[in-house]
Amino acid sequence: MSSTTQNPSGANHPGKVRVAIAGIGNCASSLVQGVTHYADARDEVPGLMHHTVAGYHVSDIEFVAAFDVADAKVGLDLADAIFAGENNTVKFTDVDATGVEVQRGPTLDGIGKYLSEVVELSPAEPVDVAAVLREREVDVLINLLPVGSEQAVQFYANAALEAGTGFVNCIPVFIAGRPEWRARFEEKGLPIIGDD
């Protein structure tokens, strides 16, 4: 996290929270749009329980890396990828170019039987996810892969551990709920949140 700044709520804190997203589907679209939409929130806002948590405001979230496997998304700016391919989340705000290119992650079991019938995989070689997380100085990796991506979720959790990055698991593949995974994150002093 960068140097101390003051956010719209007037709170001083250590700076931005640098975030990476694994899986640029509908949930990622809603997240990126929501962070954009609520960036200037100062008081109670319909649809948002808290605009500030522990001194961090919504505007303190900075997306710095993104991973996907779909040909329609890999290589695009995150702002474009959230509306690409099979994504069909309602567009409720404009998202300016982020300067974050969606990179090719590993497929593993991240594309299930039915999704594989509609999603064309990118021919690009998967990047070294842990290296990207380190290079971009990511604070938190948010997992938004399709439900059932057991091997892929474990891969990203391991990459977070290797890179010294916190991990938020937003799908019902058990990582935070398993003592052995929790212990690995606790041993490194890294936050782990989830599952689902």
Tell me, yes or no, whether 189 lies in a domain: no
Tell me, yes or no, whether 34 lies in a domain: yes
Tell me, yes or no, whether 165 lies in a domain: no
Tell me, yes or no, whether 29 lies in a domain: yes
Provide the residue range defining the domain that includes 117: 5-150
Domain count, the chain: 1
Q: Is residue 1's pLDDT more than 60?
A: no
Residues 55-75 have a mean pLDDT of: 96
User: Each residue of 102-115: b (16+ CB within 10 Å) or e?
Assistant: bbbbbebbbbeeeb
Q: Is residue 13's pLDDT more than 60?
A: no
Q: Is residue 2's pLDDT more than 50?
A: no
| Tens-place pLDDT, residues 103-158 | 999 999 999 888 889 999 999 999 999 999 999 999 999 999 999 999 999 999 99
In the β-sheet with 17-22, what is the strand arrangement from edge to edge? 102-104, 61-68, 17-22, 140-143, 166-169, 192-193
Identify the pLDDT of residue 6. Answer: 59
Q: Is residue 16's pLDDT more than 50?
A: yes
